[in-house]
Structure 1
Amino acid sequence: MGAALAPAGVAQAHPDADQVSVYPPIQGSSTWDRFGLSGPTSHHIVFGNYGYPNDWAVDIYRNPGATVVSPFGTKTASGHPVAVKVVTVRAGCATGNLADGGYRIGLEARDTTTGQILGRADVMHVTNKPSGIVVGASVGPWTKLGETGRFRYSSCYQVNGDSGAHIHLEVINQHRYSCYIARGANTALTDLTVIGKVGTHYTAQRQRC
């Protein structure tokens, strides 16, 4: 669960969940770790959920104005429908100023057949958020969360041009650890490219699937 392994008696209460795929949180094309500085093997993890730091982080690039969406798939590996709700909406930077880095929008995925919570994703550097994107809202795979944007240069956001505009994505399992799919810097993605999974049962942060 993005945490140290629980004692055996506790772990047995949380068996390995069904898995759901994680996709780029940008509609259409995007780029994985464009400059080779923000891959999940080492990229800084800023946020946490369930009382623990998130499992892994990556920057996914797209020029300003692209539609930002949920990164979670609609079905688990065994075919169970997945429901996604908004759990966090706040300024992503510690200053609390949206001009410094836009919104952090947190999402939670749940297996609707079993009721099990699978994990969460934090989608950071979102601008032009629709009014309906509030805590508690249900979102589908193409529900617009906002757009990619450019923000003023700061300790929270160090970007000099439109080619550097990106979404900072962080992912966490509810129990044990999620994983990412390793790929080289500047790899082109589509909105159907699987980039990771939640509901997996890894034993540490920053794990490759």
Structure 2
Amino acid sequence: MGMLRHARWAIACTMAATTALLTAPAALAKDAGTEAGRPAGGQEVRPLAAATIAVYPPIQGASIWNRFGQTPPSSHHRVFSNWGYLNDWSVDIYQNPGATVVSPFGSKTSAGGPVTVRVVTVTPGCATGNLADGGWRIGLEARDDSTGTVVGRADVMHVDQKPASITVGATVGPWTRLGQTGRFRYSSCYQVNGNTGAHIHLEVINRTKYSCYIARGAGAGLGDETVIGRVGTLNSGPQQAC
């Protein structure tokens, strides 16, 4: 299976609903940011990455995009920030409790260069600081090793059963286990009733300019090789499709 995820960079941009199932309101989660003062067309004046990096579902195996149609990346709340800026886009990826959570970044750039992914954030995701309210937030950073350029970051939220080895500074591969999907207690940070509402809240941001997501309909099935977005792109603003 590791070989499968290693090769996925080359692939082109290719549950009875339960009640309330949205993730944490931005006002109640940690690190909520703002785009006020963000330079037009980008976050800062820096050389662009030489190539893009594909973003994949952060759940190993089958998962579901925006299962109930309430969390499209065009409008879904963005809770976290990186480098002082609110993340570019977010989406909920659904799978019942117990599914393995992995890095969403591909192992190669679009130009074929190797990608290194390291852990930059490990913290309870909800503002209460209580894991029972919504699990872990694990932040990951993707670097193009061909140029040494940091291309983007992703925040993977609502992670359960995080291994002790997942700490800030750790390097992870595409199949490194970050934890698993879980169902947490109903709270202002995790408004889910039933196992079919269990999900990972994913947020993505470019180091320079803006990343993008691949538009698809609510309830679309996803697999290990499904590209759901890209970092290193030159989009003009947040929450834009590729």
Q: Is TM-score (shorter-chain normalized) higher than 0.5?
A: yes
Are the aligned partners of 1:133 and 1:145 in contact in 2 as well (CA < 8 Å)? yes
Instruction: Give the secondary-structure state (helix, strand or coil) at the position aligned to 1:197.
Output: strand
Q: 1:5 — aligned with what?
A: 40
Q: 1:186 to 1:6 in 2, by over 3 A?
A: closer
Are the aligned partners of 1:16 and 1:201 in contact in 2 as well (CA < 8 Å)? no
Q: Which runs of 5+ in 2 are unaligned?
A: 1-34
Are the aligned partners of 2:213 and 2:229 in contact in 1 as well (CA < 8 Å)? yes
Instruction: Give the secondary-structure state (helix, strand or coil) at the position aligned to 1:58.
Output: strand
Report the Cα offset of residue 39 of structure 1: 1.1
Are the aligned partners of 2:156 and 2:203 in contact in 1 as well (CA < 8 Å)? yes
Instruction: Give the secondary-structure state (helix, strand or coil) at the position aligned to 1:99.
Output: helix
Instruction: Give the secondary-structure state (helix, strand or coil) at the position aligned to 2:202.
Output: strand
Match of residue 121, structure 1, among 142, 154, 168: 154
Report the Cα offset of residue 5 of structure 1: 2.4
> 1:65-123: CA deviations, max 9, x gaps?
00000000000000010000000000000000000000000000001111000100000
1:24 counterpart letter in structure 2: P
Counterparts of 1:123 and 1:14, CA distance in 2: 27
Q: 1:6 to 1:56 in 2, by over 3 A?
A: closer
Are the aligned partners of 1:17 and 1:200 in contact in 2 as well (CA < 8 Å)? no
Instruction: Give the secondary-structure state (helix, strand or coil) at the position aligned to 1:107.
Output: strand
How many equivalent pairs are there? Answer: 205
Runs of 4+ in 1 over 3 A off after TM superposition: none
Counterparts of 2:57 and 2:91, CA distance in 1: 10
What TM-score results when the alignment is normalised by the length of structure 2? Answer: 0.82
**1:36 maps onto 2:69 in alignment:** yes
Are the aligned partners of 2:101 and 2:181 in contact in 1 as well (CA < 8 Å)? yes
Match of residue 88, structure 2, among 55, 61, 64: 55
Q: 1:90 — aligned with what?
A: 123
Counterparts of 1:15 and 1:64, CA distance in 2: 38
1:44 counterpart letter in structure 2: H
Q: 2:13 — aligned with what?
A: none
Q: 1:161 — aligned with what?
A: 194
Q: 1:162 to 1:112 in 2, by over 3 A?
A: same
Among all aligned residue pairs of Structure 1 and Structure 2, give the percentage whose two residues are the same amino acid: 66
1:4 counterpart letter in structure 2: P
Q: 2:20 — aligned with what?
A: none
> 1:114-167: CA deviations, max 9, x gaps?
100010000000000000000000000000000000000011000000000000
Q: 1:205 — aligned with what?
A: 238
1:97 counterpart letter in structure 2: N
Instruction: Give the secondary-structure state (helix, strand or coil) at the position aligned to 2:107.
Output: coil
Report the Cα offset of residue 6 of structure 1: 6.2
Counterparts of 1:44 and 1:118, CA distance in 2: 23
Q: Which runs of 5+ in 1 are unaligned?
A: none
